[in-house]
Amino acid sequence: IGDFLKDKYDSASEMVVEKHRESRGWVETLRAKYALFKPPTERDLVYYENSPNFCEPNPETGSFGTRDRTCNVTSHGIDGCDLLCCGRGHNTRTEKRKEKCHCIFHWCCYVSCQECVRIYDVHTCK
């Protein structure tokens, strides 16, 4: 469902509100802003206001911005540092984490594990 909605969002049609007079008074209708593109169908997503800038904090929209958000340095998707950090770049820090490792299942019925320290690079937006 998420991929479907993302595709709809990426191909949404920008609309303009037109006011015209009819017998019952002023009526507002939506019209495609760009006549060169095919008009949207009933199943297409449309918008008439631009989305807010989610890169910077905005109390009106409830957005915290993307500063200090963890990003994926190897991804070219929306979780990637290039896109998520809005061109500001990212910081990298090394983190040590204790994790269970070398786990063994004992018959019957428990698992015993060792504790290993693993080192990770964590990338966050500037």
pLDDT (0 to 100) of residue 62 = 87
CB 51 within 8 A of CB 64: no
pLDDT (0 to 100) of residue 56 = 92
Please state, in angstroms and rounded to a whole number, the distance separating the CA atoms of residues 81 and 68: 11
Whether the pLDDT of residue 3 is over 90: the answer is no
Tens digit of each residue's pLDDT (9 = 90 or more) over 38-76: 888 889 888 888 778 889 999 988 889 999 999 999 999
pLDDT (0 to 100) of residue 110 = 94
pLDDT (0 to 100) of residue 83 = 93
Describe the strand order of the beta sheet including 90-106 as a list of residue ranges: 70-71, 110-125, 90-106
**Could you tell me which residue, 61 or 121, shows the higher pLDDT?**
121
β-strand partners of 13: 46
Tens digit of each residue's pLDDT (9 = 90 or more) over 75-101: 998 899 999 999 999 999 999 999 999
pLDDT (0 to 100) of residue 66 = 96
Measured at the alpha carbon of residue 99, what is the angle toward residues 94 and 104, in degrees to the nearest 5?
150
Tens digit of each residue's pLDDT (9 = 90 or more) over 8-41: 888 888 888 888 888 888 888 888 888 888 888 8
